[in-house]
Structure 1
Amino acid sequence: MKISENWLRERVPLQADRATLAERFDMIGHEVESIEPLGAQLDGVVVARIVTCAKHPEADRLQVCEVDAGGQTLQIVCGAPNARPGLKAPLAKVGAQVGTLSIKAAKLRGVESFGMLCSAKELGLDADASGLLELPDDAPVGTPLADYLGLPDAVFDLGLTPNRADCLSLEGLARDVAAAFDVPFAPLAIEAVPAQSDRRIEIRLDAPADCPRYCGRYITGLDAAAQTPPWMRERLRRSGLRPISLLVDVTNYVMLELGQPLHAFDADTLHGPIGVRRARAGETLRLLDEREVALDGQFLAITDADRPIALAGLMGGWDTRIGAATRNVFLEAAHFAPSALAGRARRLSMHTDAAHRFERGVDPELPRRALERAARLIVEAGGGEVGPILEAVSAAHLPARAPVRLRRARIERVLGIRVPDAEVERILAALGMTVRADAEGWSATPPSARFDIAIEEDLIEEVARIHGYERIPDRAPSGELVGPSLREDRVGLAALREQLAARGYLEAITFAFVEGAQLAAWNLAEDSIALSNPLSAELSVMRTSLLPGLVAALAANRSRQQVRVRLFETGRAYFAGAEGPREVARIAGVACGGAVAEQWGEAARALDFFDVKGDVESLFALSGSEREFSFEPATQPWLHPGQSAAILRDGRTLGHVGALHPNLARTLDLGGDVYAFELDVDALAVRAVPSAQPLSRFPSVRRDLSFELPEEVPYAEVEKAIRAAVGETLTDIVLFDRYAGANLGSGVKSLAMGLILQDRYRTLTDPDADRCVALAVAALESGCKARLRG
């Protein structure tokens, strides 16, 4: 929201300087994103009129102009394409300072020039550098430009929070500033324009819940080509809007001033009655931007004789547009429910000032005031006869502001300070609330524009920000501090994060919202939750996995010459369900590049599946129950079928690890192999409660075995079979060799392992060890199709 400092000071009698005003804006919750001073150095710049223009004898693009500067005529060489006789424009005289340029008498291609005709950009007033700044025909020649344009000034660019729709207007901001500085504020006095004609049209509300109030007014016989007053054009320009024409400028100006969007129809194109209803499937409408859009029941339409002529709160239609030839207009001002418009503009890939306001909530009492204000401004500049205000209203559907209780004890409890009763009452009254005191505090009824005040804490927030956050002392809380509850049967999330950080991963934070097409590319769109009012099309679906966001972050790093990337994230994935949405805590990681960082002590080697598998297994070790985890071939569509695995704990799948599928890597333009893993935190974090066990005082025995077995039998099955057969006497298995070659035959591998045997109560004998080996061999031969090698 951009606002002119001078315009604001006209409404609020402030003695504070600009820096103090900016600081106070920040403290009351309206962040000042930038301050743009305007016209601070315009000494020597005056309003001038070009009398004659002649072609420069030595340059095709230059003109030699005779310019009336008020009491003297100066010769100026000018290259602006819009320089012409009769044009009034700013003239910087000799000695003036325009930006970093000092104006001096000079010769341009042999012709003397005594000053410079200026564009808006050269004067620092606008970004337009296409030609001279054109001033109105009635601008007094010789008048200092700063006096004529109301300069110097400054434009405050404020970052408003979405709940403060009332501050998307000068009136709302002025009320807040007046309350913060404790100076008087009065709403803009709008004098009613008496009706001079009785032209009417029927108004029908067929969707009263979506549009409980619709007002309109005819203005006939006006001159739509009349010039917008200079003061209004300047205020629009300083608010970030480009002046266009009288009718458009007035509707924009009233929207900025009061906060009520308006729309003007060419009345001669209307046949009535005017209606407000939900659009019907199959209807189309050509908008003012000349797009033809297909409508459905999600859109609210303004109709004329039951044909759509505008999208309510979004944009007008092409067929009823106004132009320079318009003589009769029908002005519209309505209240639309925020829920009826939320997200509709985004569906059409548009953003309008009207939609921005209506989506957040516009004062339902504003339409009549806005029509009175707009009618007077139009008639004063363009003439015409004004008709009566026509209104259709469904009182039952208008939003009502209910009284909110505020207890003085609750203020002290939340803020930690006691705010005097008189100050509380002053603040609430200054913000437009109706306040009634009682024994415990107050009952405050918010004004109709404040959609954000509904509970006691909302009022406490208002008291805090206007009283001043800086007046709330910094005090440490007193009393006993309760430490965090550390469960022995769970691995803390911090421990999992620290483990991955120790393995060389950097923690990332990505959006919980992703693009629907992104999930579809990963084949992860099933059970996804689409947002009804997304921030943008790229953030329209809740993520069902952390990996799409992490891989996008990895790709961004690779595109910036980072070859070796390790990222991990902890967060939640979201799924639709029969009983409502559900959240699943996840931990995920992605990696690419070399297995180790570039160094002299170890040869370079590309990252492979087993490196990332080792990182995942390090997380298992934190649970103290590594044997409960196992791997089996995975079938996920986003994983490489030959370099991936499902991760199981006690037979339940808790995640996956592996290389991304080559097709997916190409689709995402990753430019190389990328490995990823994702695990459910709840299943991963279960830990056996530690219990002390005595160490055996007896020596261990080792027996080495070598087996041939089919290639498709995973080692996990081998280890599981041996442990089940041998029992507690087997304390460990060491796999020290794996071999596959032509001499073994196709589809056969050889595994060599050491069995570590130990008893807690006695020394094992050779027969004991031989019995354990026999049990292991029998189990492998029967369960894994293995054969003991000689």
Structure 2
Amino acid sequence: MRVPLSWLREYVALPQDLPIADLDAAFVQCGLEVDTVEDLRDNVTGPLVVGTVASFEVLTDFKKPIRYCQVDVGEPEPRGIICGASNFAEGDRVVVALPGAVLPGGFAISARKTYGHVSDGMIASARELGLGEDHSGIMVLPDSAEAPNGADARPVIGLDEVIFELELTPDMSHCFSMRGIAREVAHRLGVGFTDPAGLTTEPAATADGPHPLRVDDPLGCDRFATRAVRGLDPAAASPEWLRRRLIHAGMRPISLAVDVTNYLMLELGQPMHAWDLATLKGTLVVRRAAAGEKLTTLDDVERSLDAEDLVICDDTGPLSLAGIMGGETSEISDSTTDVLMEAAHWDPTTMARTGRRHRLSSEAGKRFERGVDPALCRVAVQRAIDLLVEYGGGTVDASVGDIDNRRPTATIRLAADLPSRIAGVSYDTTRVGAALDACGCTWTAEADTLTVTPPSWRPDMTDQADVVEEVIRLDGYDKVPSVLPAAPPGRGLTPTQRRRRHIGRALASAGYVETLTYPFGDPTVFDALGLPADDPRRQVLTLANPIVDAEPALRTTLIPGLLKALKVNVDRGIRDVGLFETGLVFNPRPGWEDQPLPQLPVDRRPTAAELAVADALRPHQPQHLATVRCGHIESDGWWGPGRLGDWSDAIAAARTIASASGVELEVRQAQHAPWHPGRCAELLHNDTVVGHAGELHPSVCDALEVPRRTCAVEINLDAIGFPEVPPGPSISHYPVALIDVAVVVDATTPAAQVASALSEGAGDLLEDIRLFDVFSGEQLGENRKSLAYKLTFRAPDRTLTADETVEARDRAVALAADRHGAVLRGA
């Protein structure tokens, strides 16, 4: 919202010596963010004066007509100035930039020879002066401009203006007008306020309006006022002051009728529409559109209407998308003489939905969807008619149409001390009442309760919190002390938080980078992942109003989001990528589709029974951790070749996660999409599958456009649980005993299971076991392999003898033989 200072002064008794910085601060204290302050006085420096074209000579020896003008600028002799425009005549008053002036953009004016003559200055257009986009001709001053030749032209053309650009929040819809902004500033500075709506006498409604009208949807349109003027001069131009204000406010002047509606929208906040009475066929009807109806709006776009859209029609069909934009047949033309002015109040929710549905934003729509003052309709049409008659002639139709279906404004009851309790500031009743008066509310106090009725221009005030907010804002945010709350003593991080941090540090040390992906996705990605039709991960919850239409599903796995992030990195040239993420997945409760969704109240705390019903339908949300990795694990260089990642690195990442969690995982071969069936492992904790790790299937990599041999891990952290506090380790200073054991087992026997049997058989003396070699060959037999382990033995209280070490080894091999048919190699 652009606020010219001179316009603001009409309604606010601002001191003449008020510094711009103080007014800027007042805006901020009102809750209005000042984006920029544009001082037009700085746009043009140097001599800019009023002049009169005494005579001109048309030079015809060039590609376009050029005029050599003699311009009287209040000096003894006129100045000769070359001008390429032709929209002026002898005797016209113009704006002249003399040598030494600097126009916007750093364009310096000097006397120079051009077209065979010396041009001693420049006759300026509006765009050259930064006053608009009109560059079709130079500025011709109106006859009302009484400044003498040679006088400073800045006050005459509005270059002495200061314009504030405000960023308005949706909850301050009343400030989408000069009326609302002026009221706020006047209260903040403690000066007088003149309500522009009070400068016009509201006419009384008559039995019949100036044109037949019917409102079929009183909920969508609760007020519709009309007034007409006949015999308007279609050639009448808008007055210069009105055109200037529109330009300063960022709008382009068009015609008198249209300019008047735009001006009043800015002044009062009431959008209006001007109809050509000669083009209307039959009764105007406000109704919902019929599905499939078409309307070509003023932006030349044909739109298919929805059954929720509000439209204004006559006998020919829809003429206007109500409250948003008129149709091409509803425009005021150059021959319009009879004008019907309309001011209506439209349902904000309908306006917002219509604008978003059609991706159509307009100044009127912005105001209606935030809420305008329904009490202004008749005032606005009367003000519009007065301006049309004053500047365009014509006769006012005596009829005043007003269909009024407004509902009474609801009152709000709240405890008198609620503002004090919320803000931590002691507000007595007098102080609260002063703020409510400034807001325009009517209120009464009874015992410890306030009953507040918001003004018609504050549709955003609907509950106690809104009243409290207004009291705090109008009394002054700066009066609310900044007090840091006392931090209660805590117990440190929770076990979940500690585990997450430990895992994050461990994975970061292993070369992974943590990322955060969106918890929403496209359910068609499950086809790319190759999930079976009955896979529980396909059972997803979808959002009714998703952020992205193509991604409405709450995730049931972290893998798709991480692969999407990995692809972005690879596409940008980062070939060696390792990512991990910890986050929730959302698994629907069985049978939730058949249960009615509970509607929890918002005006009170739900009961325990209501919360229990809602909780029974709340999806299960376990915390998962996933990693993805592609490219080199070890880079190549002068030291030798590098190493590409493979399934073993995914297993290593899973073991890193388990170690940081303080648990051990059992690893065994499995088949589970989207992993490669021959390079996939399932991860078990206490005989329960908690995740999977390995290389992704090549078809999955191709479908998702990530490099082949990409590895991934996904673990359900909630299924792991938390280990008991381990006892402190006992450190022995006695020497270790090392024995290598090689056993031959079936080729399908997992090495981890053999290691588990060896560890259990060796007993307490075993300190560590490590697989260091896997061998298969003809000498071992078909489908046989050799697993070589290094066993480390140590006693806490003595040096082990050779017999004790060999006995422990034999027990280990015996248990492995009993469980897995292991045979000591070479035996």
Q: Give the TM-score normalised by structure 1.
A: 0.81
Q: Which residue of 1 aligns with 2:66?
A: 63
Q: Which residue of 2 aligns with 1:621?
A: 659
1:518 and 1:668 map into 2 onto residues whose CA distance is: 9
How far the C-alpha of 1:454 sits from its partner, in A, is: 3.4
Deviation digits for residues 81-125 of structure 1 (CA, Å, limit 9, x no counterpart): x76657875321233332434432221254200112334454333
CA contact (8 A) 2:754 2:816 kept: no
Instruction: Tell me whether 1:389 sits opposite 2:400 in the alignment.
Output: yes
Distance 1:710 1:40, change over 3 A: same
1:468 and 1:588 map into 2 onto residues whose CA distance is: 50
Deviation digits for residues 384-437 of structure 1 (CA, Å, limit 9, x no counterpart): 344433233434xx47342242533x4333333324554432222111111323
Q: Match for 2:5: what amino acid?
A: E
1:484 and 1:89 map into 2 onto residues whose CA distance is: 78
Q: Which residue of 1 aligns with 2:19?
A: 17
Q: Which moved more, 1:128-137 or 1:619-628?
A: 128-137
**Which aligned pairs between 1:186-201 and structure 2 lie closer than 5 A?**
186-188=194-196, 189-192=198-201, 200-201=210-211
Deviation digits for residues 570-593 of structure 1 (CA, Å, limit 9, x no counterpart): 555668864567584565666666
Q: Which residue of 1 aligns with 2:414?
A: 405
Q: Which moved more, 1:447-456 or 1:506-515?
A: 506-515
Q: Match for 1:470: what amino acid?
A: D
Instruction: Tell me whether 1:776 sits opposite 2:816 in the alignment.
Output: yes
Instruction: Tell me whether 1:735 sits opposite 2:771 in the alignment.
Output: yes
CA contact (8 A) 1:401 1:448 kept: no
2:554 and 2:152 map into 1 onto residues whose CA distance is: 58
How far the C-alpha of 1:623 sits from its partner, in A, is: 1.9
CA contact (8 A) 1:149 1:231 kept: no
1:787 and 1:269 map into 2 onto residues whose CA distance is: 102
Give the match's secondary structure for 1:156.
strand
How far the C-alpha of 1:635 sits from its partner, in A, is: 1.7
CA contact (8 A) 1:343 1:533 kept: no
Q: Which moved more, 1:290-299 or 1:675-684?
A: 675-684
Q: Which residue of 1 aligns with 2:82?
A: 77
CA contact (8 A) 2:635 2:641 kept: no
**Which aligned pairs between 1:579-618 and structure 2 lie closer than 5 A?**
582=619, 584=621, 595=633, 611=649, 614-615=652-653, 617-618=655-656
CA contact (8 A) 2:666 2:752 kept: no
Q: Match for 2:250: what amino acid?
A: G
Distance 1:122 1:440, change over 3 A: same
Give the length in aligned residue pairs.
774
Instruction: Tell me whether 1:44 sits opposite 2:47 in the alignment.
Output: yes
Q: Which residue of 1 aligns with 2:124?
A: 118
Give the match's secondary structure for 1:462.
helix
Larger Cα Rg: Structure 1 or Structure 2? Answer: 2
2:21 and 2:94 map into 1 onto residues whose CA distance is: 32
Q: Which residue of 2 aligns with 1:469?
A: 477
1:90 and 1:268 map into 2 onto residues whose CA distance is: 40
2:236 and 2:529 map into 1 onto residues whose CA distance is: 58
CA contact (8 A) 1:718 1:780 kept: yes
CA contact (8 A) 1:117 1:132 kept: no
1:237 and 1:742 map into 2 onto residues whose CA distance is: 93
Q: Match for 2:274: what amino acid?
A: A
CA contact (8 A) 1:190 1:369 kept: no
Distance 1:114 1:402, change over 3 A: same
2:230 and 2:777 map into 1 onto residues whose CA distance is: 96
CA contact (8 A) 1:27 1:468 kept: yes
Q: Match for 1:21: what amino acid?
A: L
**Which aligned pairs between 1:717-732 and structure 2 lie closer than 5 A?**
none
Instruction: Tell me whether 1:27 sits opposite 2:29 in the alignment.
Output: yes
Give the match's secondary structure for 2:42.
coil
Q: Match for 1:156: what amino acid?
A: F
Instruction: Tell me whether 1:98 sits opposite 2:103 in the alignment.
Output: yes
CA contact (8 A) 1:531 1:541 kept: no
CA contact (8 A) 1:64 1:75 kept: no
Distance 1:436 1:598, change over 3 A: farther
Deviation digits for residues 612-669 of structure 1 (CA, Å, limit 9, x no counterpart): 6644543332321132687854424xx7888777766667776676778888878888
Q: Which residue of 2 aligns with 1:690?
A: 725
2:527 and 2:94 map into 1 onto residues whose CA distance is: 57
Q: Match for 1:705: what amino acid?
A: A
Q: Match for 1:10: what amino acid?
A: E
Distance 1:229 1:701, change over 3 A: same
Instruction: Tell me whether 1:180 sits opposite 2:188 in the alignment.
Output: yes
Give the match's secondary structure for 2:171.
coil
1:232 and 1:671 map into 2 onto residues whose CA distance is: 65
How far the C-alpha of 1:674 sits from its partner, in A, is: 7.0
Distance 1:287 1:769, change over 3 A: same
Instruction: Tell me whether 1:270 sits opposite 2:277 in the alignment.
Output: no
Q: Match for 1:168: what amino acid?
A: F
CA contact (8 A) 2:737 2:805 kept: no
Distance 1:161 1:118, change over 3 A: same
CA contact (8 A) 1:206 1:277 kept: yes
Q: Which moved more, 1:259-268 or 1:598-607?
A: 598-607
Distance 1:629 1:715, change over 3 A: closer
Q: Which residue of 1 aligns with 2:613?
A: none
The unaligned stretches of length 5 or more in structure 2 are 531-536, 598-616
The unaligned stretches of length 5 or more in structure 1 are none
CA contact (8 A) 2:411 2:451 kept: no
2:5 and 2:620 map into 1 onto residues whose CA distance is: 48
Q: Which moved more, 1:492-501 or 1:109-118?
A: 492-501
Give the match's secondary structure for 2:21.
helix
2:325 and 2:261 map into 1 onto residues whose CA distance is: 13
Q: In structure 2, which of residues 196, 213, 217 is the aligned counterpart of residue 207 of structure 1?
A: 217
1:242 and 1:599 map into 2 onto residues whose CA distance is: 66
Q: Give the TM-score normalised by structure 2.
A: 0.78
Identity, in percent, stands at 34
CA contact (8 A) 1:590 1:674 kept: yes
Deviation digits for residues 156-178 of structure 1 (CA, Å, limit 9, x no counterpart): 22222222222222222222222
Give the match's secondary structure for 2:339.
strand
Distance 1:217 1:117, change over 3 A: same
Q: Match for 1:233: what amino acid?
A: R
Give the match's secondary structure for 1:212.
strand
1:527 and 1:589 map into 2 onto residues whose CA distance is: 22
Give the match's secondary structure for 1:452.
coil
1:371 and 1:260 map into 2 onto residues whose CA distance is: 10
Q: Which moved more, 1:278-287 or 1:765-774?
A: 765-774
Distance 1:757 1:379, change over 3 A: farther
1:760 and 1:195 map into 2 onto residues whose CA distance is: 104
1:516 and 1:37 map into 2 onto residues whose CA distance is: 54
Distance 1:598 1:207, change over 3 A: farther
Give the match's secondary structure for 1:237.
helix
Q: Match for 1:9: what amino acid?
A: R
1:645 and 1:223 map into 2 onto residues whose CA distance is: 86
Q: Which residue of 2 aligns with 1:481?
A: 488
1:666 and 1:65 map into 2 onto residues whose CA distance is: 73
How far the C-alpha of 1:247 sits from its partner, in A, is: 2.8
Q: Which moved more, 1:439-448 or 1:278-287?
A: 439-448
CA contact (8 A) 2:696 2:710 kept: yes
CA contact (8 A) 2:758 2:813 kept: no
**Which aligned pairs between 1:254-653 and structure 2 lie closer than 5 A?**
254-305=264-315, 307-387=317-397, 388-395=399-406, 398=407, 400-408=409-417, 410-419=418-427, 421-440=429-448, 442-477=450-485, 481-484=488-491, 486-488=493-495, 491=498, 493-503=500-510, 527=540, 529-530=542-543, 532=545, 578=593, 582=619, 584=621, 595=633, 611=649, 614-615=652-653, 617-627=655-665, 632-636=670-674
